[in-house]
Chains A and B, each alone.
Chain A
Amino acid sequence: MSEKLTGSLIIQAVKESGVKTVLTVPDKTTADGLLRPFSADGDLRHVRTCKEDETIGISAALSYAGQRSLILIQYTGLLYSMNAIRAVAVEYQSPICFMVGLLGKEPGVLPTESKRFGVRIIQPILDTMGIANHVIETDDDIEKITPAINNAYETSSPVAMLIGRPPLAS
């Protein structure tokens, strides 16, 4: 079993799902391994937003044009955006794909067993809201990404991919 998480492999999996736009608010966990290469990728449109709930409106609008997008944020931003997620993603059944950095989660520890309260509550909240979620902790987990995004768009429903450790920058 792999003990590392490679950013370039995550990006490859995201692109294989047809995502052409990445909507972001910086997150320390993913800043170097994902955000920096995403922002430099000429195949992707990168929209920097000021606050995380903006990304949900933008992503939902893009989906009406059949354009797939990924939201890259920190778990604190996910918590901040709960009303927009409740309304636009869940109640209005929009294909909103989150990639969420679990800042401070201990490597190898399940999110629900983290010592960090904010990290520990993320999956129970997502489960309560009926939002599919996947922990992406090692390279072995990366194979979940493309099907998760495809499923979100095929079923018009949200999904959250929880990044459990800082991805390697190369």
Chain B
Amino acid sequence: MIKRDECLKSLVSKIANDEIVVAAYTTAFELDAIRPSPYNFISSGAMGLTSSHALGFALAWPNRRIILLDGDGSLLMNLGSLVTNANAAPKNLIHFVFENGTYEANGGHPIPGQDSVNFAGMADSAGYNNCHEIFDIAGFESSIGSILQEEGPTFVTLKCETGEKYPQDYRYMHSAEIRKKFAEAVKDF
């Protein structure tokens, strides 16, 4: 199992300061603590839309890599987006799914198919260009460099568990201020 915050720390050390990272809920809180940045787009308000927001960014800026940090519960709420995204085929999209088997933001209850669902397999069937499944931080460290260089859309399941606890400010997550910061940061892209 990968500690999610360890994985995030490793990932952000390998991407540029002005790279857009789209994240959902608990992962978004951790991302914002580990990488405070106006280029973090927090997908909130309607669970599941993270993968659709990321597709929009990927289409809008085809010459910029878009890092999508999805959750397993979030993706289950928008499974069709696997097919939509694969069909749109943005070469600049890397779709990570942190799979901890629970609806973590909603009480930690198990997702349907907790022990059986194969997200990378579904992404592969949907038509993603590259699909990976990573089980530990050593595997992540050894493969992330080449994964980041792949021509997308790329899909990566990260079998994870919660690491350290980070602050969760839902008021800020839903605020106009956070979206205004992002809009200001990307206005000259």
Q: Real complex partners, A and B? A: yes
Interface residues of A (CB under 8 A from B): 21, 45, 47-51, 53-62, 64-65, 67, 83-84, 86-88, 91-93
Chain A min CB distance to B50 (Å): 8
Contact (Cβ within 8 A) A54 B52: yes
Answer whether A49 and B84 are a contact pair too, CB < 8 Å, given A65-B189, A84-B49: yes
B62 to chain A, nearest CB (A): 10
Across the interface, A51 reaches (CB within 8 A) one of B54, B78, B189, namely B78
Interface size class of B (residues with CB under 8 A): 20 to 34
User: By the criterion CB–CB under 8 Å, are B52 and A56 in contact?
Assistant: yes
- B34-56: CB near A (< 8 Å → 1, else 0) gives 00000001011110111111111
Determine the main DSSP class of B at the interface with A: helix
A28 smallest CB distance to B (angstroms): 20
Question: Is B92 interfacial (CB-CB < 8 Å)?
Answer: no
Q: Which residues of B contact A45 (CB under 8 A)?
A: 59
B186 proximal to A (CB < 8 A): yes
Kindly identify which residue among B52, B61, B83, B179 contacts A58, using a CB–CB cutoff of 8 Å. Answer: B52
- Does B88 make an interface contact (CB < 8 A)? yes
Does B57 interact with chain A (Cβ within 8 Å)? yes
Q: Flag B117-133 by CB within 8 Å of A: 1 or 0 each.
A: 00000000000000000
In the complex, what distance in Å separates the CA atom of A93 from the CA atom of B59?
A: 21
Verify if B154 is at the interface (C-beta below 8 Å from A): no
User: Does A88 lie within 8 Å of B45, measured CB to CB?
Assistant: yes
Q: Do A50 and B80 form a contact, CB below 8 Å, given A57-B56, A61-B57? A: yes
A54 touching B80, Cβ below 8 Å: yes
Interface centre among A48, A50, A86, A93 (most CB of B within 10 A): A50
Take A48-B87, A57-B43, A92-B179 as given contacts and tell me if A64 and B60 are in contact as well, using a CB distance cutoff of 8 Å. Answer: yes
**Top 6 A-B pairs, shortest CB-CB distance:** A61-B56, A50-B80, A57-B52, A87-B45, A65-B60, A57-B49
Find out whether the CB atom of B84 lies under 8 angstroms from the CB atom of A50. Answer: yes
Interface string of B61-92 (1 = CB under 8 A from A): 10000000000000000101101100110000
**Residues in A neighbouring B179, C-beta threshold 8 A:** 92
- Taken together as a complex, chains A and B put the C-alpha atoms of A88 and B46 apart, in Å, by 7
The smallest C-beta distance from A72 to any residue of chain B, in angstroms, reads: 15
Q: How far is the CB of A89 from chain B (nearest CB, A)?
A: 10
A62 in contact with B56 (CB, 8 Å): yes
A73 CB to closest chain B CB, in angstroms? 14
B186 touches A58 (CB 8 A): no
* B182 located at the interface, meaning its Cβ lies under 8 Å from any Cβ of chain A in the complex: yes
Question: Cβ of B57: which chain A residues have Cβ within 8 Å of it?
Answer: 61, 64-65
Known: A88-B45, A92-B45, A92-B179. A54 touches B81 (CB 8 A): yes
Chain A residue contacts of B83, Cβ below 8 A: 50
